[in-house]
Amino acid sequence: MATTEETPTRKVQVKRFKPEEYPEKHYLNQEKGLWAWLTTVDHKKIGLMYLMSVAFFFLVGGVLALLLRTELLTPARNFMTADVYNQVFTLHGAIMIFFFLIPSVPAALGNFILPLQLGAKDVAFPRLNLASFYIYVIGALFTLTAIFTGGIDTGWTFYTPYSSTTGGSVAMMTLGIFILGFSSILTGLNFIVTIHKLRSPGITWNKLPLNLWGLYATSLIQILATPVLAITLLLLTMERVLGIGIFDPALGGDPVLYQHFFWFYSHPAVYIMIVPGFGIVSEIISTFSKKVIFGYWAIALSSLAIAFIGFLVWGHHMFTAGQSSLAAMVFSFLTFLVGIPTGIKIFNWLATMYKGSIDLKTPMIYMLIFLFLFTIGGFTGIMLGALSVDVHLHDTYYVVAHFHYVMMGGMVMAFLGGLHYWWPKMFGKMYNEFWAKISAGIIFIGFNMTFLPQFIMGSQGMPRRYYNYIDQFQAFHQFSTIGAYVMGVGFVIIAAYLLHSLLRGEKASSNPWGSRALEWQTSSPPDLHNFKHTPVIINGPYDYHKPMSEFQLGIATSHNGHGHHEEEGMDVAETEKEKA
Closest contact distance (angstroms) between CB of 326 and another protein is 11
Span interacting with another protein, options 2-10, 214-222, 416-424, 464-472, rule CB under 8 A: 464-472
**453 prior amide bond cis, ω within 30:** no
b/e burial code for range 519-544 (CB count within 10 A of at least 16 → b): bbbbbbbbbbbbbbbbbbbbbbbbbb
Which of 36, 52, 63, 82 binds another protein (CB under 8 A)? It is 82
Rg (CA), the chain: 24
Minimal CA–CA distance to 349: which of 419, 277, 455? 277
Q: Is 358 in the site for another protein (CB under 8 A)?
A: yes
Q: How far apart are CA 383 and CA 372, in angstroms?
A: 17
Which of 16, 260, 464, 565 binds another protein (CB under 8 A)? It is 464
Minimal CA–CA distance to 274: which of 114, 382, 174, 405? 405
> Containing H/E element for 556?
strand 553-556
Q: Is 250 in the site for another protein (CB under 8 A)?
A: yes
Which of 328, 400, 517, 555 binds another protein (CB under 8 A)? It is 328
Which of 112, 294, 311, 415 binds another protein (CB under 8 A)? It is 294
> Containing H/E element for 298?
helix 296-309
Q: Is 340 in the site for another protein (CB under 8 A)?
A: yes
Which of 189, 312, 452, 456 binds another protein (CB under 8 A)? It is 456
Q: Is 244 in the site for another protein (CB under 8 A)?
A: no
Instruction: Read off the amino acid at residue 308.
Output: F
Q: Which is nearer to another protein, 194 or 352 (CB)?
A: 352
Which of 372, 435, 479, 485 binds another protein (CB under 8 A)? It is 372
- At CA 173, angle to CA 170 and CA 179, rounded to 5? 140
> Containing H/E element for 61?
helix 43-71
Contacts to another protein from residues 501-530, by CB under 8 A: 514
List alpha helices for 72-107, DSSP H.
82-94, 102-103
Minimal CA–CA distance to 435: which of 499, 371, 357? 499
Contacts to another protein from residues 375-394, by CB under 8 A: 375-376, 379-380, 382-383, 385-392, 394
Total chain residues near another protein (CB under 8 A): 89
Span interacting with another protein, options 45-53, 335-343, 420-428, 491-499, rule CB under 8 A: 335-343
Q: How far apart are CA 54 and CA 65, in angstroms?
A: 16
Per-residue contact track with another protein, 534 to 553, x per CB under 8 A? ----------xx--------
Q: Is 445 in the site for another protein (CB under 8 A)?
A: no
List alpha helices for 21-42, DSSP H.
34-38
Contacts to another protein from residues 154-213, by CB under 8 A: 154-155, 159, 161-162, 165-167
Which of 189, 321, 438, 445 binds another protein (CB under 8 A)? It is 321
Q: Is 395 in the site for another protein (CB under 8 A)?
A: yes
